[in-house]
Amino acid sequence: MLKTPSASLFRSHKLLKRVPSSCSAHQQTTTTTTRIMTTDASLPPSPAFPARPTGHLQKPMLASQRAADAAAESPDADPATKKPQGMAYFPLGYKEAVSQWWTSVSSRQAERDVLSFIPFLKEASTEAAQSLHELAKADPFGQRVWRSSMVQLAGKDRALNELSIQRVGEQADNTLVMLHGYGAGLGFFYKNFEPLTRLKGWQLYALDMLGMGNSARPTFKVTTTDPKEKIKEAEAWFVDSLEEWRLTRKIDKFTLMGHSLGGYLAVSYAIKYPGHLNKLILASPVGIPEDPWAVNDALPEPTASTMENEFTQDQESITRATEPTAPSLPPKKSTNAPAAPPKRPLPGWLVWLWDANVSPFSIVRLAGPLGPRFVSGWTSRRFNHLPPAEKDALHSYAYSLFRQRGSGEYALPYLLAPGAYARSPVINRIQDVGRQEGENGFPVVFMYGEHDWMDVAGGYAAEERIKKRIEKTLVEGTEEDRRREGGGAKVLIVRRAGHHLYLDNPGEFNEMVTREMEETAEEGRRRARLGL
């Protein structure tokens, strides 16, 4: 039985009355193209709206500064603090929100604005007059160039947005593929691209998952009525497109790194399409621990969750701590039942929305001119540890993605129950990763932030299961099985970081991933020498 949402859920509709009725929902038209680095920013502006500068660097004032001015001018502002009511939750003022909605850049331009903060790397455009060598000659870590393109897949409205980074004049013997989390996009990895491409012999790809980011957004639907088959269909919707992309790019084997939902789907890909991974890096993966409601109930309603931290956690207080805080970790012991994470109340209205398949992005779209204000409630806390220009660029990028037509976001209730517990927990199948027909195992790395709201105990439990599977092979397998055994598992903790560890402490995160890449390359050379 569905719960009735509280009246407070709909208070936001009163805010729309402040906006003239002539300001109807601003429609954004997206186009799919195969040209390298083609953006819809070059299209002429609609006659109904004023023209806007092409990038955040050309704005006369940062969005955060304009928001502060708007707050001070608000008639509802507190005389002492100059902050309007509700500013603690949604720091962007009404006036500034409408301004951002009215003049917002396209999602592709917003992505480029974020990528402009990547040092050294140069864009490799088909229209460039200079050679790739000339484009990258100033790079102190070797000549590197990046390309952005839409990779077409089979079927209607199916294409993946791709960023690739290549080391010029070098043979790429190894490939790293990066997958983002729920509702996000590849641009959030902007602090990782340059450091992770310093290694020789590697090529990097970052992908927007189908139905998210700047990838195509086909209609999502499931056709079966069987609960378990619904889960498989939802997973296949994403991982099938990843496999199509791999075949299109003619990549045999690669290292796959996924964050949050991307980590969950990386495990699903490894099981469904075996034989193509050298290593699996799971950065704060969702869905590892088992929860009885999520597994046994078609519409579970757990009463507690730690997912609230995703919306309330303040990154500045975490990333700028003067003294490293020891993470609250469970003892490493052989157990398949991880300790329960700290519980926090999950609002009844959120459970109702989840069960009704109403995504947070639906609210952003329905909010129309006040959409940027709602988004600021998340971006103000998520990015407040970053320089103002980067924080503003990420806010614009996030809003440009969140406001797009709903697609892949509607798969979430089939994969996760309220509170981010998986309906098909990873802990029950992690031992099968790298163990399909013809496989002899590969390393699986679990990474968590020191203050991660994801349960690190689930990572330790998964590590134990993988190691038990390796022990079984070494004890019961043939001599050839033991010689070919390549499995492994480890849990890494990134200090002064939360769930978005790749952005909270990119320096330490990049160092850890780089070491994993080095070990992967060395293991590949060793196995080649032995003929494995």
Residues belonging to the active site: 260, 452, 499
Terminal alpha carbon distance of the chain? 56
b (16+ CB within 10 A) / e for 14-49: ebeeebeeeeeebeeeeeeeeeebbbbbeeeeeeee
- Which tokens sit at 163? 């960023």
Cα(263)–Cα(520) distance, rounded to whole angstroms? 19
- Which tokens sit at 494? 């990134």
- CA 188, 232, 257: angle at the middle one, nearest 5? 30
Cα(267)–Cα(183) distance, rounded to whole angstroms? 18
Q: Is 85 exposed, middle or buried (0-12, 13-18, 19+ CB in 10 A)?
A: exposed
Collapsed DSSP state (helix, strand, coil) of residue 243 = helix
Contact indicator for 254, 175 with CB cutoff of 8 Å: yes
Residues in the chain: 532
- Which tokens sit at 442? 């590969």
Contact indicator for 433, 270 with CB cutoff of 8 Å: yes
Count, in order, helices (H) and strands (E) of the chain. 20, 13
Per DSSP, the residues of 417-445 read ETTTEESS-GGGTGGGTT-STT----EEE
Contact indicator for 145, 132 with CB cutoff of 8 Å: yes
Quick one: which of 342, 337, 312, 314 has its CA closest to 327? Answer: 342
Quick one: which of 14, 3, 32 has its CA closest to 405? Answer: 32
For residue 77, the 8-state DSSP code is: B
Cα(184)–Cα(408) distance, rounded to whole angstroms? 11
Residue 480 vs residues 440, 484, 529, 532: alpha-carbon distances, Å: 10, 6, 16, 10
Quick one: which of 163, 187, 179 has its CA closest to 259? Answer: 179
Cα(155)–Cα(250) distance, rounded to whole angstroms? 19
- Which tokens sit at 292? 């009885």
Quick one: which of 418, 414, 411, 356 has its CA closest to 231? Answer: 414
